[in-house]
Amino acid sequence: MAERGGAVAALAARLRDGRPLITAWSGIAEPAVAGILAGEPGFDAVVLDMQHGAHDVASVTRSVPLVAARGKPTIARVPVGAFSTVSRLFDAGVSAVIAPMVNSVEDARLFASFAKFPPLGERSWGPLPALALSGLSADHYLKEANGLCLTLAMVETRAALDAIDGILGVLGIDGVFIGPSDLSIALSGGAGLDPDGAVTRAALDHALARTRAAGKRIGVYSQTGPRTRELAGQGFDLIALASDVALLRAGVQAALKEARG
Ligand code: 3PY
Ligand code: MG
């Protein structure tokens, strides 16, 4: 964990040390679930999903301290186009925001403008829970925030893939996050879901190479342990491993199978 800035600063510090992070992914808007996931030693962070999951600003605000109690950073994914929510999440103490469907340089600039203080953006001041959690003075937080509050723009459409160099070139964008399910739907013209298929894999390779060329960070969603291991070996910086709902169902189904024979 980072020495200064506590859990709020822990993500930037972990990304600097270069080892891939494996994060939990929670759509159940119950802070206790986020706290339980954070308690697993193998998870480096917890993502709270406001796009397809049930989280909102209030549940994120209540979850962050329980994740921070384990010394771990929280990441939040906002709904599509909800850029004005981004600064509220950083105020609550999240360390990164993932924005879905960032399809152009304009989308990326708008995202960054709500996430970063001047001169990079126009984030409004008011990070009271973040100050309490980080232990930083207001002046120190203002100086450090643009480096601690990270922006990950989701690349999950053909337009985003085409614009990836421009998106990565936006100063207030720290990296990209690949959504392999949406990407597979887009690349197949809606024919099917194939997040681990050859076409999606080629797009991931391309995104990884362009991100490395830009000197930025890349995250990706993964549905299974073996795929997560593979993605970590390939050099992805941050891999989200399965959702709480999927893990709950898998655990219940395995137990019932044993019970029922
Ligand atoms: C996708 O795969 O499309 C995602 O958004 C991951 O959650
Ligand atoms: Mg998606």
Judged by phi (left if over 0) then psi (alpha if -120 to 50, else beta), residue 18 lies in left
User: What is the number of residues in the chain?
Assistant: 261
Closest atom of ligand 1 to CA, residue 156: 3
Q: Is the CB of 49 under 6 A from ligand 1?
A: no
- Ligand 1, atom 6: closest residue by C-alpha: 179
Q: Is the CB of 181 under 6 A from ligand 1?
A: yes
Q: Where are the domains of the chain?
A: 6-149+222-260
Torsion of CA 185, 188, 193, 199, to 10 degrees: -110
* Residue 4: predicted pLDDT: 83
| pLDDT of res. 1 | 40
Q: How many CB atoms lie within 10 A of CB 198?
A: 8
Which residue has the CA at smallest separation from atom 4 of ligand 1? 179
- Ligand 1 atom closest to 52 (CA): 7
The token duo for 257 is 């199978």
Which H/E stretch holds residue 150? strand 150-155
Residue by residue, DSSP assigns 107-141 as HHHHHHHHHS-TTT--PPS--HHHHHHH---HHHH
Q: How far is CA 183 from the centre of its chain?
A: 17
- Asked whether 74 and 93 are in contact (CB, 8 A), the reply is yes
According to DSSP, residue 20 is labeled: P
Give 202's Cβ-side CA count (13 Å radius): 4
Backbone φ, ψ for residue 125 (5° rounding):
-80, 135
Ligand in closest contact with the CA of 181? 1
Q: From ligand 2's centre to the CA of 156, what distance in Å?
A: 6
Cite the active site residues. Answer: 52
Query: Helix, strand or coil for residue 26?
Result: strand
Q: Cα(3) to centroid of ligand 2, in Å?
A: 34
User: How far is 94 from 145, CA to CA, in rounded Å?
Assistant: 11
Cα(52) to ligand 1 centroid in Å equals 9
- Could you report how far apart the first and last alpha carbons of the chain are, in Å? 44
Q: Which ligand is nearest to the CA of 177?
A: 1
Measured CA to CA, the distance from residue 31 to residue 26 in angstroms comes to 10
CATH of domain 6-149+222-260: 3.20.20.60
Specify the 3-state DSSP secondary structure of 51. Answer: coil
Q: What single letter denotes the amino acid at residue 138?
A: A
Cα torsion 93, 98, 104, 109 to 10°: value is 10
**For ion ligand 2, residues whose CB falls within 5 Å:** 156, 179, 182
- d(CA 58, ligand 1 centre) in Å: 23
What is the CA(220)–ligand 1 centre distance, in A? 8
Low-confidence ranges of the chain (pLDDT < 50): 1-2
**Among the listed residues 150, 169, 156, the one whose alpha carbon sits nearest the alpha carbon of residue 210:** 169
Instruction: Report which ligand 1 atom has the smallest distance to the Cα of 180.
Output: 2
Asked whether 172 lines ligand 1 (CB < 6 A), one says: no
Among candidate residues 211, 203, 204, 206, the one with its CA nearest the CA of residue 168: 211
pLDDT at 3: 55
Helix count and strand count (H, E) for the chain: 13, 8
